[in-house]
Structure 1
């Protein structure tokens, strides 16, 4: 079951200003995760989120992306993308 990857407006703007090589790596990692979201690659649950709306983060080298999984619509909604040192979960 393949999930669709969707970016929020804010995440899309942050993604657009990243270097092209980083964008490609992030895109590949998110698509790989969307193809098999139940195989935990390098994904962890973000602490402090409400249990009814959990957030997850994926590590891609020095970059991070946080997202929500909407299971009933088969969507992975990317909330934020950025470098590790400037990234807030």
Structure 2
């Protein structure tokens, strides 16, 4: 999964969470429908956290890989300027 797909997942999960929170406001908290939506909301929050963590790791590794590629290029071409 690439970074853009992860960002899209985060956007969709965020929209879903907002929608579910709006629906919960109008329900009796003790009703089965509210309990069901609350469970779904909790799962969406966990998925959002997981996707956010994955995004942070991917972005971090992408920056590291880019730096490693630049270093390898300059090392191979003897263009590494250390001044």
With the shorter chain as reference, the TM-score category is 0.3 to 0.5
TM-score (norm 1): 0.32
Instruction: Report the structure number with the largest CA radius of gyration.
Output: 2
The structure with the largest strand share of the pair is 1
What TM-score does the superposition give when structure 2 sets the normalisation length? 0.34
Higher helix share: 2
